[in-house]
Amino acid sequence: MRIQFTLISMFFLACFNLSAQESIIEDVNYAQLERFIELAKEHYPRKKMFEAAEEKAKAGVPAAKVSYLDILNASYFYRPEGKSAIDVVNPYIINGFQFGATLNVGNFLQKPHEVKQAKADYKLAQYESKEYDILLSNEVKKRYYDYILQQRKLKIKTQAEQDANSLMEDLRFKFEKAEITHDVYSEARAALTTAETDKVEAEADFLKSRDALEDIIGMKLTEIN
């Protein structure tokens, strides 16, 4: 009888788990998943780091273009009218305002490269930001699927614990009436203990998966409309 009871229990649990695994996809809400991805892009700190790096690189392009003015150095000198055309201290031959400009040839030749480099840095920052969008989306999906899985497992373990408890109550009544052996009753008690332990572990796994999902989307699930 003990062997028969064990086999029946194993068959019941196997069928129950198989049924749950076959229906897990039905629990996935893709509209909700897309919402979670958008929230992660909006709130996750590392995503903001990539956005800031992209903005910095973008600002570097016009800054590099404007820096062309750095290669010019303009100056002026004013010599009052009426001064002698030849002066030992200020040996200028023209009175009035005098203007001058110098061009740094080395910097002039280097500027096109700096502008090109700034554009390349901006493009690189864009690619890195897009790549991280993909990585972030995949991570959100991974955590969401794990959350759904742990949620389903918790339901299974909760139902199993309830079934084991109901079975235990029934067998206790039969044991008191001497309708079953002590071995069967003891096995039922052990099965109930196992079911209760599995439920507690499932609760912990569910809470961990929920926290992990909330961490990446930046909001509590209860706060999302």
Query: For residue 192, how many other CB atoms are within 10 A of its CB?
Result: 20
- Work out the pLDDT band at 152, boundaries 50, 70, 90: very high
What's the confidence (pLDDT) of residue 193?
92
Give the residue extent of every domain in the chain.
2-59+114-223
User: How far is 155 from 97, CA to CA, in rounded Å?
Assistant: 90
Least trusted range by pLDDT, from 94-108, 120-134, 148-162, 210-224: 94-108
- For residues 212 and 89, which has the higher predicted lDDT (pLDDT)? 212
Which residues is 76 bridged to in the sheet? 99
What's the confidence (pLDDT) of residue 11?
39
Average pLDDT over residues 36-62: 82
What's the confidence (pLDDT) of residue 54?
80
Pick the CATH number of 2-59+114-223 from 3.40.1000.10, 3.40.50.300, 2.60.40.10, 1.20.1600.10: 1.20.1600.10
Query: For residue 211, how many other CB atoms are within 10 A of its CB?
Result: 12
Question: Which contacts qualify for 162-171: CB closer than 8 Å, 24 or more apart?
Answer: 163/195, 164/188, 164/191, 164/192, 164/194, 164/195, 164/196, 165/192, 165/195, 167/191, 167/192, 168/192
Query: With b meaning 16 or more CB within 10 Å and e meaning fewer, what string describes 75-106?
Result: eeeebeeeeeeeeeeeeeeeeeeeeeeeeeee
What's the confidence (pLDDT) of residue 14?
45
Q: What is the DSSP letter of 85?
A: S
pLDDT over 90 (residue 75): no
Q: What is the DSSP letter of 160?
A: H
Percentage of the residues of the chain whose pLDDT score is greater than 90: 35
What's the confidence (pLDDT) of residue 181?
87
Which residues, in sequence order, are CB contacts of 175 under 8 Å at separation 6+?
182, 184, 185
**Segment 79-122, tens digit of pLDDT:** 666 555 555 555 555 655 565 556 555 565 566 677 777 788 88
What's the confidence (pLDDT) of residue 149?
95
Q: Is the pTM for the entire model greater than 0.75?
A: no
What's the confidence (pLDDT) of residue 8?
46
pLDDT over 90 (residue 35): yes
**Segment 16-34, tens digit of pLDDT:** 554 545 578 888 999 999 9
**Segment 133-143, tens digit of pLDDT:** 999 999 999 99
Radius of gyration of the chain from its Cα atoms, rounded to whole angstroms: 38
